[in-house]
Amino acid sequence: MAASPKPRARTSPTASPAKVPHVRVAVIGSGFGGIGAGVRLRRAGITDFVILERAGSVGGTWRDNDYPGCACDVPSHLYSFSFAPNPDWPRSFSGQGDIRAYLERVTDTYGLRPHLRFNAEVSEARWEPAQTRWRVTSAAGEWTADALVSACGPLSDPQIPDLPGLADFPGKVFHTSRWDHDYDLAGKRVAVVGTGASAAQVVPAIQPKVGRLTLFQRTPAWVLPKADREISAVERWVHRKVPATTALRRAALFAIRELQVDAFVRRPGALRLVQQLAERHLARSVADPALRARLTPDYRIGCKRIVISNGYYPALAAPNAEVVAAGLSEVRGSTLVAADGSEHEVDAIVFGTGFHVTDMPIGAKVFGASGRSLAEEWKGGMEALRGSTVHGFPNLFFVIGPNTGLGNSSMILMIESQLNYLIDALTTLESVGATALQPTAQAQRHWNQRLQHKMERTVWNTGGCRSWYLDGAGKNTVLWPGSTSSFRRATRRLDLAEYDLIKRSAVASVSAAQEVSA
Ligand SMILES: Cc1cc2nc3c(=O)[nH]c(=O)nc-3n(C[C@H](O)[C@H](O)[C@H](O)COP(=O)(O)OP(=O)(O)OC[C@H]3O[C@@H](n4cnc5c(N)ncnc54)[C@H](O)[C@@H]3O)c2cc1C
């Protein structure tokens, strides 16, 4: 790894060494969001930044989720940066290892190593109004920064339900995103809790080796077949020799996904055909009518994230597997008690129970101009302007902020749109001679009113399910109710009419310089 350059302090050349280094931008997180931010900052000529990562390497989701079977459910050529195409994707849907390796390569290719600070969990970021800057406290030290980018990930802090008796369970317990590779599941009685994408990938990967697999299913998932295959050596050779073919492949995948959006967002009834495909997939995979009934959802397809798998149903139909059509409600010693009262003896529990999504953990650590935390600000539900900026939190930019998630396409498209917005904001600030900006309360309110109005007819709100897209009050603060192209248009340029500008006074500049050099 290249040596880290000293972050530039806002001091004169003759001043004593800075105690708290100052950077123009502090980025939190080094998944696709943080790495993408680093690349785009450098391309915009901004090199005075740090990327603070709590773990010991880059990768985010694709570093943490190394459970057996972990893979992407968006095709590889679409689930990658537009500026860093990879002609060598080995499969049409990438596995975790290949995506993680891709992010490591992007980090090297774009010279991001000097900016990275590992084992630097951010515990607090506080806006200092008098100095018009952020003060960021991390496990690796303190920084001040003109702008703060939160790229902490929507799915990075695992959620394990607070179950009575769980603390006294004598066996092994872990979450899919914190897999314990030292624990051998071979021959063990294993409970998998949850039926989301992670649980559905784990089940077929471990079923052949465990002694008994018990799936605790509160709600069944709709499952579609996965058209995964190896990308042949010839295809890869063509992609390498004629880069336009990689771009063409990506464009085709993009267009297909974009066409599907309308059904999710405006015409949920059109998803009936897709639901029939899923019903046929279930009928073909599971012969036992009782099991088939247990696995048939009672909500419209698309309301929850659709699982894409060829192995999930066959694994659940295997003789050593059992589907308990009820959630796990209590643990009594090594006995798991389901909500239907049934009891199941197990050696290990694997939780595929998702993440803290609508209660973003970084929210409790970021304090704005009034001294209030984002978490307090968002008590009534997460809200931002264009998914990126928040009134009262100057120069705070989100990558994957509120309502920027997708139900059916590549999150990398949304990340890149938010990066366009970030870079435009930073360059606009420079061109108008301001230090900071924050959205007006009115602009933020209008944006969210329009967004929630569009949300009303989406399948996520009308499909008859309770998903992790909804917060405690039933409000969808996670997904974008439109196409990825419409989000791209909405974030192409920062509209100054939606913002209040803040200029650093001469007094503040002097006191800030004195403080960093004290
Ligand atoms: C199992 C799984 C499968 C998925 N599959 C798909 C898919 O098929 N298609 C799709 O589009 N999306 C998928 N996603 C969503 C995926 O999270 C996004 O596509 C994308 O990887 C998010 O990138 P990110 O950089 O925003 O967040 P992350 O990749 O989560 O990175 C966030 C980083 O921030 C760090 N961090 C968090 N808090 C702090 C802190 N306080 N201080 C310092 N560092 C911190 C974390 O350690 C992490 O490295 C999947 C997610 C999971 C969990």
Distance 304 CA to ligand 1 centre (A): 19
Distance 212 CA to ligand 1 centre (A): 31
Per-residue pLDDT of the chain (518 residues; tens, 9 = 90+): 333 333 333 433 344 455 899 999 999 999 999 999 999 999 999 999 999 999 999 999 999 999 999 999 999 999 999 999 999 999 999 999 999 999 999 999 999 999 999 999 999 999 999 999 999 999 999 999 999 999 999 999 999 999 999 999 999 999 999 999 999 999 999 999 999 999 999 999 999 999 999 999 999 999 999 999 999 999 999 999 999 999 999 999 999 999 999 999 999 999 999 999 999 999 999 999 999 999 999 999 999 999 999 999 999 999 999 999 999 999 999 999 999 999 999 999 999 999 999 999 999 999 999 999 999 999 999 999 999 999 999 999 999 999 999 988 999 999 999 999 999 999 999 999 999 999 999 999 999 999 999 999 999 999 999 999 999 999 999 999 999 999 999 999 999 999 999 987 754 544 444 544 43
* DSSP letter for each residue of 276-327: HHHHHHHHHH---HHHHHHT--SS-TTSSPPEE-SSHHHHHTSTTEEEESS-
- Establish whether residue 253 lines the binding site of ligand 1, counting it when its CB lies within 6 angstroms of any ligand atom: no
- Establish whether residue 400 lines the binding site of ligand 1, counting it when its CB lies within 6 angstroms of any ligand atom: yes
Residue 506 has a pLDDT of 52
Distance 119 CA to ligand 1 centre (A): 17
- Atom nearest to 138 CA in ligand 1: 42
- Establish whether residue 297 lines the binding site of ligand 1, counting it when its CB lies within 6 angstroms of any ligand atom: no
Output the residue whose Cα is nearest ligand 1's atom 20: 32
Output the residue whose Cα is nearest ligand 1's atom 50: 61
Output the residue whose Cα is nearest ligand 1's atom 38: 152
List residues bridging with 71 in a β-sheet: 95
- Atom nearest to 362 CA in ligand 1: 41
Long-range interactions of 135-144: CB distance < 8 A, separation 24+: 135/20, 136/26, 136/28, 136/52, 138/52, 139/54, 140/52, 141/21, 141/117, 142/20, 143/7, 143/20, 143/21, 143/22, 143/23, 143/26, 143/50, 143/52, 144/20, 144/21, 144/22, 144/23, 144/512, 144/516
- The structure tokens listed for 305 are 């994230």
CA distance readout (Å), 96 to 59, 91, 103, 385, 515 = 10, 11, 11, 32, 45
CA distance readout (Å), 482 to 225, 273, 452 = 25, 21, 11
Residue 508 has a pLDDT of 52
Write the burial class of residue 259 (CB in 10 Å: 0-12 exposed, 13-18 middle, 19+ buried): exposed
- Establish whether residue 32 lines the binding site of ligand 1, counting it when its CB lies within 6 angstroms of any ligand atom: yes
Q: What is the 3-state secondary structure (H, E, C) of 426-472?
A: HHHHHHHCCCEEEECHHHHHHHHHHHHHHHCCCHHHHCCCCCCCECC
Residue 286 has a pLDDT of 97
**Mutation pick for ligand 1 pocket among 96, 121, 156 (CB with most ligand atoms within 8 Å):** 156
Q: What is the DSSP letter of 65?
A: -
Residue 4 has a pLDDT of 37
Residue 193: CB atoms within 10 Å: 25
Looking at residue 412, its amino acid is I
Write the burial class of residue 91 (CB in 10 Å: 0-12 exposed, 13-18 middle, 19+ buried): middle
Output the residue whose Cα is nearest ligand 1's atom 26: 153
Distance 139 CA to ligand 1 centre (A): 20
Residue 304 near residue 182, CB atoms below 8 Å: no
- Atom nearest to 410 CA in ligand 1: 11
- Establish whether residue 176 lines the binding site of ligand 1, counting it when its CB lies within 6 angstroms of any ligand atom: no
Show the domains of the chain with their CATH numbers.
22-157+357-517 (3.50.50.60), 166-229+238-351 (3.50.50.60)
- Establish whether residue 76 lines the binding site of ligand 1, counting it when its CB lies within 6 angstroms of any ligand atom: no
Distance 363 CA to ligand 1 centre (A): 16
Residue 407 has a pLDDT of 85
Q: Kindly provide the residue ranges of all beta strands, DSSP E only, lying in 7-132, ordered along the sequence.
A: 22-28, 49-52, 116-117, 122-128
Output the residue whose Cα is nearest ligand 1's atom 35: 29
Measure the N-to-C terminal CA separation of the chain; round to a whole number of Å. 31
Distance 464 CA to ligand 1 centre (A): 27
**Mutation pick for ligand 1 pocket among 81, 149, 152, 203 (CB with most ligand atoms within 8 Å):** 152
- Atom nearest to 35 CA in ligand 1: 25
- Establish whether residue 94 lines the binding site of ligand 1, counting it when its CB lies within 6 angstroms of any ligand atom: no
Residue 291: CB atoms within 10 Å: 18
| CA–CA distance, 111 with 402 (Å, rounded to integer) | 30
Distance 404 CA to ligand 1 centre (A): 13
Output the residue whose Cα is nearest ligand 1's atom 4: 72
Output the residue whose Cα is nearest ligand 1's atom 37: 152
Residue 368 has a pLDDT of 98
What's the predicted TM-score (pTM) here?
0.94
